């Protein structure tokens, strides 16, 4: 399963990371995650974690008893997540460099983040099947994508028949 249609250049990735710093300053990720229903103790998959703003916030929110898998195809993403997690003393983040969540056991994740990545996936059905595989039966898929309108994003996710909209 491919996570992205192409790997960004290092320059493009660094520019995106700067853009995300501004986004995170305007709307702190921890607030977004609380509003989406993330709780202490959860196991989280940040699919397409990028520079890790949401992964790091999730690690703080789920606390030491929780776990965060930060998955991305770009090597800089993984390096940034590892570096920032170490700086912040977060030991519950597990970076995964690659295109698949296959190392994550079935039905072991309570919460999946799919933020600003869906538009870049060449095979959304495969990715959504993989996310469905790792989610617990009562798990939450929280998705947003600035390239897609909310109705279009919801349609792409629900047309697989694997997910139901909650309206949050």
User: What is the chain's pLDDT, residue by residue, as a tens digit (168 residues)?
Assistant: 334 446 667 777 677 666 766 677 778 899 999 999 999 999 999 999 999 999 999 999 999 999 999 999 999 999 999 999 999 999 999 999 988 888 999 999 999 999 988 877 888 899 999 999 999 999 999 998 877 777 888 888 899 889 888 754
Domain with residue 104: its CATH number is 3.40.50.150
| Cα dihedral 56→144→158→149 (10° resolution) | 180
- The answer to whether position 121 is within a domain reads yes
For residue 56, count other CB atoms closer than 10 A to its CB: 25
Query: Tokens at residue 130, please?
Result: 């993989």
- The answer to whether position 2 is within a domain reads no
Of 1, 5, 2, nearest to 147 (Cα)? 5
- The answer to whether position 151 is within a domain reads yes
- The answer to whether position 55 is within a domain reads yes
Q: What are phi and psi of 70, to 5 degrees?
A: -110, 105
Sign of the dihedral defined by the CA atoms of residues 15, 85, 79, 131, in that order:
negative
Structural domain including 110 reads 10-158
> Considering the entire predicted model, what is its pTM?
0.85
Specify the residue for token string 């697989």: 160
- The answer to whether position 165 is within a domain reads no
- The answer to whether position 83 is within a domain reads yes
Which DSSP letter does residue 47 get?
Answer: E
Total number of domains constituting the chain: 1
Return the bridge partners of 44, or none.
68, 111
């Amino acid at each position: 399963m491919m996570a992205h249609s192409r790997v960004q250049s290092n320059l493009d990735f660094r520019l995106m990371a700067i853009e995300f710093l501004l986004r995170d300053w305007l709307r702190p990720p921890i607030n977004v995650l609380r509003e989406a229903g993330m709780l202490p103790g959860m196991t989280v998959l940040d699919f397409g974690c990028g520079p890790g703003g949401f992964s790091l916030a999730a690690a703080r929110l789920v606390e030491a008893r929780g776990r965060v898998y930060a998955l991305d195809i770009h090597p800089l993403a993984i390096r940034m997540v590892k570096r920032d997690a170490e700086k912040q003393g977060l030991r519950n983040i597990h970076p995964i460099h690659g295109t698949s969540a296959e190392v994550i056991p079935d039905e072991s994740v309570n919460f999946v983040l799919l933020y600003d990545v869906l538009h870049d996936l060449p095979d959304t059905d495969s990715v959504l099947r993989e996310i469905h595989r790792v989610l617990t039966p009562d798990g939450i898929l929280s998705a947003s994508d600035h390239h897609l309108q909310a109705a279009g994003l919801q349609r792409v996710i629900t047309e697989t028949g694997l997910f139901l909209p909650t309206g949050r």
